Structure 1
Amino acid sequence: MKQIFLFLSLLFSTVLLSQTVLTSYAIDLKNKKERSDILNVENTATHDIFVFLASDSLSILKYNSALFLKQKVVTSRKFTEGKSLIGCSFSEDGNPTLYWFSPIEKNIVLIKYYLETNTNRALKFQIPLDEKSVLTYYQKDNNFYLLMKDHAKQGLTAFIFKNGIAEEKYLDFSPFVFRDRKTQQKSFNQILMENPIEKMDSGEYNPLFKVTSKSKLYTLPNRLILTLDQSLRKTQLFDINLDNLEIKEKTFLQPSTQKNAKKSNSYYHENKLYQISVNAEQLALDIKDYESGESLKTFSVSKKDTIQFKNSPLLMQINDKKPRELKNTGKFLQELATTDVGISVFKNKQNLLLTLGGTGMQSKSIAAPFGMMSDFYEDFIPPSYYGIDTYYSVFFESVWTKKLQTTNQSQEPLAGDKIYAFLDHHKTVLLPKVLKLSNYSILGYYDFDSKEYVLRKFTDGFN
């Protein structure tokens, strides 16, 4: 979706970039932008919005749901110098706890800020980085989660921070069998080494470059969904209960093609699994019910067919250049089969929005011009070569009803598309952070010219 908007913005920028400044806060980060951290968070219990601005000092701005400033606290950076602000949680009393990470010291400093008295309490949590590596961290339901992979044991460790207490939970994957693309048995750690986990942002549009990952993690309340698509034949899915540590394995066969599939992948969305299989002559899409495994919708498209469920042209984009249209399905499938394929599913108020395609990279060595070889004339060496990486994607978009009926509607831009274009057009914007709320998104950023921290509202659709 972001790719198409780069093209549409040339024609409709005055419409698509429409947005509203919600509030601004004067602050001068001076020459310490590279050492500054910013975090925007919603307290999901009270719907208050918090902004944390960390530079020489820490400014805590508390807004209500209408973005009126309720409280401001400025405090010192004691205990957090040289540390990165990675997350936040909220206690039942409504006060925030911030998480400051230091890879050198191998710890996280937790500081709870009592806004009523402008006091705080700090704790240190030692991260076992000698035995584990960090996979991801995220905030969910006012808690903070740190997920790590064991170096020796075949499993994951989740640290759940709630009300100032860290609870450690080990997720054991040693009882399960894993096979690679060539059906050779591998350990859980070997599979993740070859196919690193990509976390999907819940409730948001996940772009094509993320969904082409073969290992995807979906974060749900007290629950994780891990999908593995290293095999061409099936999706191996694990439903993880963070309360009782139960792990349930489910297997979903990939949709078949007349000739062997060259690429395949899947995407989990609201109790359904969307699966695609691709070769240069055919594309197969299957939507299965998560509980029963039953196919709810199946499509098969050959190179001579027209893709009936597409709502956009068949497009190819190289780097950040304007996308160009591919002339037919055959050409699209030929290009798609050379990429890492994926499908993304996003639900807005009206519809389901699907992006189906793939991403790839080509590297070329090009002779360097004489001006780039300072020692050429002294040593009489032959021309040097340098590598150029070219990133490309092929894709189309589809608009469905929430009952999985295809439509003829045009894809409207998402708030994320507008935010991307806004950032692309405003070079003085620094330290951008996006906060997704139920009805709109907030872009927070530091404006270098005005020396303000600004919150802007972006909505889906044409304004």
Structure 2
Amino acid sequence: MIKNIVSAVLISFNVSVFCQETLVSFQNDLKTSSSDIKDVIPVVNTETDEIAFFVADAKNVYGYKIDANFKVSEKISSEEKRRKFKVIIGSSASKDDSYRVFLTNKNQTDFASVRFSFKDGSTSLKEFSIDKNETFIQTVVSKNKFYLIAGSRLHNSLSIYTFNENGDPQKNNINVTDLRFIDTKGKNKNLTSLLVEGDDLNKFEENTPNSIELTSEFRKMFVRDHTILITLDHHKMFTQVLQIDLNTLLATSFQFRKPKLGEKAKRTNSYLNGDYLFTLATTKNEFTVEILDFETGNLVKEYSATKNDSITFKNTPIMQEGGLLDSYRELGKTKRFLGRIANGNTGLSVRKVKNRYHLTIGGYIVQNTGGGMMMPFGGIPIGSIGAVTVFFNPTQIAFNSFTNNKTTRIESLLDTDFNHIQGEIEENAFDKMKEFKSKNKGGTVFKYKDFFIKARYNSSSKDFNFKKFTD
């Protein structure tokens, strides 16, 4: 018996070690002050596979360039840091071995960029502005270039700012006057109003684990093939999509019809993965998931269950997690599952992993701790450690999104033809990272090629450690 237990422990240990490996360790030797680290900013150069890793304390910024073989090849130190620019909104990489980090102030009214040149060891800060009648919406980094999206509610206008090698902005007007969007009641509504109302617009990376807390939002932005795709789910019967081609800066719009059940549903939602849009509608009595071809809108597959059915296409129990006591429960009946998700914020997330689709379907209720509502993303405010903002590093946002809110969910596995298949849900990269938590400031998580990197900092030795994690 003891022999079996030891064997099981060794197998578990070997699997854990195999799933993560140290890519690089280096000392933050440019830092001589005793002040705490405020931000770490990973910038991946998608053309050279290099990583520019910037570390900021109260006064200075220290930069380390890590080559494609995960060796620290160059270093740079800068005092170019202005207190009013606290929110990191994006980055860009140039062919002249320089990197630029873009920032804004707390009110998102003033902007600046800091250029770091590893070639000549120089840094420089440049301030810029957008039109006074415009509201800052979101940013995009694609093919190493930075794009800033802004809009005017007054004129229902949308613009994208591009930047040259010197960091100078150029405003590009996006023609949206002929695009029709509707509000919750089906009446025409200005696109810009839909984009700027409520909370900030979140970005989602393809096949990154995302919690129901994130995916239950009505507005989502995806970037693929140098194209921006913004999905809007505030209408119960339609998913509305804004598409902007970054090559031509032309905008188009289209709609997808949600499950018919949406007419009775309190909440509906959708999630985009690859060539397919996954839609969800739920009531207290039943729920439906439809998979639509993103090019044609045609229905590819449908799954549904009523409160009296067993959910035959799930690969997990009905799980309830979180809450004030951080408890875990399994709910036996579909009726209880529907009762939980229909009363909360409902959503689904989809990842394609190892040639299978992994669906998470559920809802969550924001917990009241007595001191007010819980903050999203684990209580981490904008501009805090690890550059956690809704504008920069969506991987870190996704990692932090698994909060203490009470979440009810099921998980399912589908093959490439969207037929349900049996099998256990394997740990994803984020699950494996939990064993490597650190309380030291200066840690972050970011995506590199087709895997994830967790950076940890040891404040005593001033060492950074990059570990690789895969699903």
Q: TM-score range by the shorter chain?
A: 0.7 to 0.9
| 1:395 aligns to 2:398 (yes or no) | no
In structure 1, distance between residues paired with 2:359 and 2:460: 38
Does the 8 Å CA contact 1:154/1:172 hold for their aligned counterparts? no
In structure 2, distance between residues paired with 1:44 and 1:292: 31
Determine the structure 1 residue equivalent to 2:426. Answer: 412
Determine the structure 1 residue equivalent to 2:161. Answer: 159
CA RMSD of aligned residues (A): 2.9
Amino acid of the residue matched to residue 437 of structure 1? Y
Gaps of 5+ in 2: 1-11, 375-403
| 1:72 aligns to 2:86 (yes or no) | no
Gaps of 5+ in 1: 1-11, 366-385
Alignment of 1:161-200 (within 5 A): 161-164=163-166, 165-192=168-195, 193-194=197-198, 197-200=201-204
Determine the structure 1 residue equivalent to 2:99. Answer: 96
Alignment of 1:39-438 (within 5 A): 39-55=41-57, 56-73=59-76, 75-78=77-80, 80=82, 82-84=84-86, 85-103=88-106, 106-128=109-131, 130-164=132-166, 165-192=168-195, 193-194=197-198, 197-257=201-261, 260-319=264-323, 321-361=326-366, 363=368, 391-420=405-434, 422-423=436-437, 426-427=438-439, 429-438=440-449
Does the 8 Å CA contact 2:276/2:294 hold for their aligned counterparts? yes
Determine the structure 2 residue equivalent to 1:448. Answer: 459
In structure 1, distance between residues paired with 2:337 and 2:111: 48
Does the 8 Å CA contact 1:91/1:162 hold for their aligned counterparts? no
Amino acid of the residue matched to residue 453 of structure 1? F
- The alignment's TM-score, normalised by the length of structure 1, stands at 0.82
**Cα distance, 1:43 vs structure 2:** 0.9
**Cα distance, 1:247 vs structure 2:** 2.2
Kindly tell me: are residues 16 and 72 of structure 1, through their superposed partners in 2, closer, same or farther at Cα, counting changes over 3 Å? same
Write 1 or 2 for the structure with the bigger share of strand: 1
**Cα distance, 1:163 vs structure 2:** 3.0
**Cα distance, 1:106 vs structure 2:** 4.4
Does the 8 Å CA contact 2:230/2:243 hold for their aligned counterparts? yes
The number of residues matched between the two structures is 424
Does the 8 Å CA contact 2:344/2:364 hold for their aligned counterparts? yes
Cα deviation code 1:311-342 (max 9, x no counterpart): 11111123371321111111111111101111
Does the 8 Å CA contact 1:195/1:213 hold for their aligned counterparts? no
Does the 8 Å CA contact 2:206/2:273 hold for their aligned counterparts? no
3-state secondary structure, aligned to 1:399? strand
**Cα distance, 1:388 vs structure 2:** 6.7
| 1:37 aligns to 2:34 (yes or no) | no
**Cα distance, 1:219 vs structure 2:** 1.5
Cα deviation code 1:352-395 (max 9, x no counterpart): 22111112225486xxxxxxxxxxxxxxxxxxxx6576831111
Determine the structure 2 residue equivalent to 1:378. Answer: none
Greater C-alpha Rg? 1
Cα deviation code 1:4-35 (max 9, x no counterpart): xxxxxxxx79955863333233235755326x
Does the 8 Å CA contact 1:92/1:163 hold for their aligned counterparts? no
In structure 1, distance between residues paired with 2:151 and 2:223: 16
Does the 8 Å CA contact 2:236/2:267 hold for their aligned counterparts? yes
- The alignment's TM-score, normalised by the length of structure 2, stands at 0.81
